[in-house]
Amino acid sequence: MHTTNPTPTYTWTINTTANWGRGMQALSFFALVLLSASGSIFADDTDGGIFTYPGEDAEIQTIREGEPFRAAIPIRNNYDRAIRIARFDSTCACNVLRTDSDFLIPGEETTLHFEVDTDNLSGRARQTVWMYLSDPGFDPLQVTIQWNIRPLVAVDALPPDQQDIHRPEDSLWRDIYRVESHERPENAGRLQKNLLVSTPPEETPEGGLEVTQITYEGSIWQFVIRQVDEHRSLVLLRAKDPDAELPQGTFEETFTIHTNHPIKHTIVMESGVKVDPDAGREVQNPLIGGPPPMPR
């Protein structure tokens, strides 16, 4: 099974239809995202009290992988009574998620501070923050923050039905730092994974991106490196001996992809392989099993 990178784990999208009730009548949000080398970007509150950063007319900021994303969001109490922010949602894997003050008198402002890591991530990122007030009569308040991450070096899994060698359109197959397989002992030839290691033009090292070697001390895999062009290389995982019977058991291993990128020159990958005679008799996640085609 291919899964997305486990660290850090974010809930990028929370699909919710909220009854804002008195809570949204009590508070209004004015957002200012503070990023290095960026200007003021104000929130849009035209969608019934659902607030996003940046607003509809503002450009979503792009930051480099590995740089933390930070936002400082002013919050003002527009209600005619004091309110208290009691707690935040527990789904945000944030470095920083706090307000300068949790008690606001009418007309008073405080700042929501937000910071998350971007290691091993790429593309559009989205985090919804819920704030609960001490008065149970108020509904939770929602702020949705969006930003883009430009990868240094991305690792993707090629879907079984994809013949072209490019980053998958479906984000489910992107930023894969763990591979999983479930096979029968006699099916060593089916034990295959195809990884695409790529870098955008802005991050490509001089002379092109290269996967220089794979280091691995496990017993299951062998690796083949194929350079596609100056921005892309394939790392093909195959059974060490495709003609031999696989040993039964569960094998948790790691391997490291080495590149010539000056910043992201080592990429540690996890591998989980389960070999047992019952493989294939149960419905599995579609990312598990079935050999992907050999890329052309």
* Class of 3-150 in CATH: mainly beta
Span 154-275 CATH architecture: Sandwich (2.60)
Number of residues that this document lists for the chain = 296
For 14-21, what is the mean pLDDT?
Answer: 37
pLDDT score, position 152: 98
pLDDT score, position 293: 44
Domains 3-150 and 154-275 fall in the same CATH topology: yes
What residue segments make up the domains of the chain, in order of their start?
Answer: 3-150, 154-275
Write out pLDDT tens, residues 57-99. Answer: 889 999 999 999 998 877 777 667 788 889 988 788 899 999 8
Alpha-carbon gap, residue 267 to 215, rounded angstroms: 10
- Mean pLDDT lowest for which of 45-54, 82-91, 134-143, 273-282? 45-54
For 151-170, what is the mean pLDDT?
Answer: 94
How far lies 108's CA from each of 30, 40, 54, 238, in Å? 13, 21, 23, 62
Alpha-carbon gap, residue 41 to 139, rounded angstroms: 26
- Please give the biggest Cα pair distance in the chain: 76
Q: What is the pTM of this model?
A: 0.75
pLDDT at residue 225 is higher than 60: yes
Alpha-carbon gap, residue 89 to 69, rounded angstroms: 19
